[in-house]
Amino acid sequence: MSLRYALLALLTSQPLTGYDVFKHFEHSVGYVWHAPDSQIYPELRRMEKDGLLSGVEEPWGKKGKKKRYHITPEGVEAFRAWMNTTLDYSRERDPIHLKAAYLEWADPDAARAQMRAHIDYHSSRVQQWQEMIAALDDRSNPTLARRLEVAPEEDRAKIAGYKIFTYEGMIDRAKAEIEWARRGLELIDKLES
């Protein structure tokens, strides 16, 4: 269900063809809501059927056509209603913490390998999010740039500011994961010697 809101969020920036939705998604809202294109295309069609988007056929190439998705007033309304709802939380389901609780069953080297993989994964995410913050800060991210072009001057600072705030939170969380996995490595050394 949340993919729908991620797509509505993206399409508040500009009308996009299916392919452009995928390209923009990857470099914007897809950082906070990952989804493969195999989910995106069918969801766009369902959203059109549900009246949240209208697909406008445009000529493409010599005799081709492509559809550009515009958010409808119903789509804007649905997005706003969701934004004004306090979300319910889902209980934790984290395979790494599940494994961490039972590391006495793992070979010490396998346990270390998992902790190192955790550090590597989160370090590379931190790097990507830092790059995203830079691209939001200097307004070079194409989705944000397009959004700002049509936004009233007085809204621009918050449009960028909330996105930067989001990545700062994700970076803090990832750094805490890295610290935790480092403590895990120390703990494994202590308990398995």
144 binds ligand VNL (CB under 6 A): yes
Can you read off the two tokens belonging to residue 165?
A: 């705030």
Neighbouring C-beta atoms of residue 155, cutoff 10 Å: 11
7 binds ligand VNL (CB under 6 A): no
> Considering the complex, what minimum distance in angstroms separates the CB of residue 69 from ligand VNL?
15
Q: Please return the burial class of 84, using the count of CB atoms within 10 Å of its CB with bins 0-12, 13-18 and 19+.
A: exposed
163 binds ligand VNL (CB under 6 A): yes
143 binds ligand VNL (CB under 6 A): yes
63: enclosing H helix or E strand: none
Q: Which residue has the tokens 């969020």?
A: 9
13 binds ligand VNL (CB under 6 A): yes
Residues contacting residue 139 through CB under 8 Å, at least 6 positions apart:
145, 148, 160
Phi/psi at 63 (5° precision): -135, 15
DSSP 3-state of 71:
strand
Neighbouring C-beta atoms of residue 122, cutoff 10 Å: 21
> Considering the complex, what minimum distance in angstroms separates the CB of residue 3 from ligand VNL?
14
16 binds ligand VNL (CB under 6 A): no
- Answer for which of 16, 21, 25, 28 binds ligand VNL (CB under 6 A) is 28
Q: How many whole angstroms from its chain centre is CA 43? A: 16
32 binds ligand VNL (CB under 6 A): yes
- In the chain, the N- to C-terminal Cα span, in Å, equals 48
Q: Which is nearer to ligand VNL, 35 or 185 (CB)?
A: 35
- Answer for which of 7, 8, 11, 29 binds ligand VNL (CB under 6 A) is 29
- Answer for which of 5, 22, 31, 180 binds ligand VNL (CB under 6 A) is 31
**Among 44-52, 72-80, 113-121, 136-144, the segment contacting ligand VNL (CB under 6 A):** 136-144
Paired residues of 66 in beta bridges: 58
Residues lying near ligand VNL in the complex (CB under 6 A): 9-10, 13, 28-29, 31-32, 132, 141, 143-144, 147, 163, 166
